[in-house]
Chain A
Amino acid sequence: MNSIAIDRSSAAARPVPARPRVVGGVSAGETVIEARGVTKTFGDGSVVALEGASFEAKKGEFISLVGPSGCGKSTLLRIISGLIPKTGGSLSVHGREVTEPRSDIGMMFQKATLLEWRTAIENVLLPTELQRRVTADDKRRAAELLHMVGLKDFEFAFPRQLSGGMQQRVALARLLQTGADILLLDEPFGALDEFTRERLNVELMRVVAEVGGTTFFVTHNIQEAIFLADRVMVMTPRPGRLAKIVDVPFERPRDLSIQQSPEFNALVSEVRDVLGGH
């Protein structure tokens, strides 16, 4: 895949966007998300979707969430994004408690949810358009992002002219266009075939590293979770609980071949053991 790096100098020359972009100036390893006993109950409190989740995330970290259906992965992500309120505990992003959707936090869903009457580039520009007037620089940036996700010649294609995988790439570019540095991805490639998914995973890893985002990635696939992440949050259901956080020691970016290594397989069994106990 053509991986064109974003021209950092042009990025610096851009007028300061309304959405804060944490790119330089902040030392790596700084804690950007802090969750203490985050709890979510539905209805009259009888459905405990998430119970006492505590964790931290450092800047630029890639964290996978695995666990069986109904263990509260989407619930946790939606709480971090500010889409739904938590019923207990505390959660701060960049030192501020999350109470509503914020411009420094971006979310991508399983469905691309592109607007079918907009071309790819117009879809990518939507987040900017909802905040302020779109400038020529925004357009250039959107074109760059489409380029970066491998859709160089499809800026003016409508969603109906794109395959499912290409639509998810547009959705990824749209997520990056928000300028958010906390990226929440809820099974973003879950609806795609395995071949496309594997390729997109590798590109996702490269792209988020390039923009320096802190990433939460939900998946059902243990191999995928380990392959992509610095740390894997393993969750178990009834009630939804954060059972264990597994460190993945491989350097990033990684090659698909590490999946054959004994260390990798040891991690897979470790995660499987946590899940198997339930």
Chain B
Amino acid sequence: MSVANDLAVPVGTGLGLSPARARLARNLAIFGTIVVLWEAASRLGLIDPLFLPAPSAIVAAFVSLYVTVGNAWYHLGITLVEVFAGFFAGSALGIGLAILVGLNATLRRFMKPYIIVLEATPRIAVGPIIIAALGFGWTSKIAIVMLVCFFAPFVNTLSGMLSVNEDAREMFRSLGASKWQVFRKLMLPDAMPMIMAGLRLAMASALSGALVAEFISANEGMGVLLKRYTSTLNMDATFACLLTLTALGFLIFRSMELIDERLVFWRSDARAAAVGRRRANAFRSAAIARGA
């Protein structure tokens, strides 16, 4: 940290850049240096291209995959459909079931042993069975992603709903709230941070789930493409696929983080303050519109 700061000062002050820009410039410089050294080492034959291809070769593979030949788009699309359809269906099922179980103590007692058994079963081990049942197409992949995305939202939603503060429940009861109002205005928002944490876990495993499902047995998707290029020792294209998936994983992670921040704004001082200001403005303009 201190070394990094020592580096930042001359860069920032020397070129008259803001600290944030100076940091960006420094990071780009470091990245550029690594790429140049890597390229040089590859050209000098110091790195086995079967182990790690040269940057220029990976870039060329990217161009081929996405521009000149353009065959990766189709597979990327298939994988995206599997990931998102599986995620939405799986987590909706998980949250919905958790709400039912959370609201009904009898159902909860009845379901508990099954939930424990299912939770103890490694999800991906069920993959081959699902493929056997549903075939090699993308429906079986969606089913596998659903399975992978079911449990975290289910478990988190359920424990979020059951951990609602007893005092708050009593307060709602003393105000004559109906069961539905207790659910809608207390349990659901109170469980929201837990639900979002479950969704983030589910989304993080959705991509891996889809890829593993494709590895098991499939004709299309990024997992198939990756496996095909590795088996033909086309490492340039393999790395281009891998980097695509890295970027996809990062985008998914960041978007979930942003959604989380928006939905559970009250957990952060800065966001709470911003939302408070917005509501104050809405309230005032409504008052002005009424002519008050």
Residue in contact with A116 in the complex, picked from B173, B266, B269, B292, CB distance below 8 Å: B266
Q: Is the CB of A156 within 8 A of B276?
A: yes
- A158: shortest Cβ distance to chain B, in Å? 5
CB within 8 A of B280: which of A101, A155, A160?
A155
A126 to B175, CA, bound (A): 9
Bitwise interface map of A from 101 to 115 toward B, beta carbon under 8 Å scored 1, else 0: 111001101010101
Residues of B within 8 A of A102 (CB): 176
Contact call A158/B272, Cβ cutoff below 8 A: yes
**Which of B33-41, B101-109, B133-141, B164-172 is the contact stretch?**
B164-172
Do the beta carbons of A106 and B177 come within 8 Å of each other?
Answer: no
In the bound complex, residues from chain A placing their C-beta under 8 Å from that of B186 are: 115
Instruction: Tell me, in angstroms, the Cα distance from A107 to B168 when the chains sit together.
Output: 12
CB of A156 within 8 A of CB of B266, answer no
Asked if B277 CB lies within 8 Å of chain A CBs, one says: yes
Would you give the shortest CB distance from A130 to chain B, in whole angstroms?
A: 5
Which residue from chain A places its CB closest to the CB of B171 in the assembled complex? A113
Contacts of B165 on A, CB cut-off 8 Å? 113
B66 at the interface (CB under 8 A from A): no
Within 8 A of A (CB), among B272-290: 272-273, 275-277, 279-280, 283, 286-287, 290
Establish whether residues A109 and B171, one from each chain, have CB atoms under 8 Å apart when the complex forms: yes
Q: Is B163 an interface residue (CB 8 A)?
A: no
Inter-chain CA distance A139–B284, complex, in Å, is 11
Interface of B (DSSP majority class): helix
Q: State whether the Cβ of B232 lies closer than 8 Å to any Cβ in chain A.
A: no
Determine if B65 is an interface residue (Cβ-Cβ < 8 Å).
Answer: no
Q: Using an 8 Å CB-CB cutoff, how does the interface string of A92-130 with B read, 1 for contact, 0 for none?
A: 000000000111001101010101110101100011011
Q: For residue B189, which residue of chain A has the nearest CB?
A: A117
**What residues of chain B lie closer than 8 Å to A75, measured between beta carbons?**
none
A265 located at the interface, meaning its Cβ lies under 8 Å from any Cβ of chain B in the complex: no
Residue of A nearest to B286 (CB): A136
The reply on A178 being an interface residue by CB < 8 A is yes
Q: Give the chain A neighbours of B173 by CB distance below 8 A.
A: 83, 101
Is the Cβ of A83 less than 8 Å from the Cβ of B266?
Answer: no
B244-292 interface with A by 8 A CB criterion: 264-266, 269, 272-273, 275-277, 279-280, 283, 286-287, 290, 292
Q: Would B175 and A156 count as touching, CB distance under 8 A? A: no
Sample (15) of A-B pairs whose CB atoms are under 8 Å apart: A113-B168, A113-B171, A115-B189, A117-B189, A117-B264, A117-B266, A119-B279, A126-B185, A130-B172, A130-B176, A136-B287, A158-B266, A160-B269, A160-B272, A178-B175
Lowest 10 A-B CB distances belong to which pairs?
A: A156-B280, A156-B276, A158-B272, A117-B266, A107-B174, A113-B171, A113-B167, A113-B168, A130-B177, A101-B174
B residues sitting closer than 8 Å to A (CB atoms) are: 165, 167-168, 170-178, 181, 185-186, 189-190, 192, 264-266, 269, 272-273, 275-277, 279-280, 283, 286-287, 290, 292
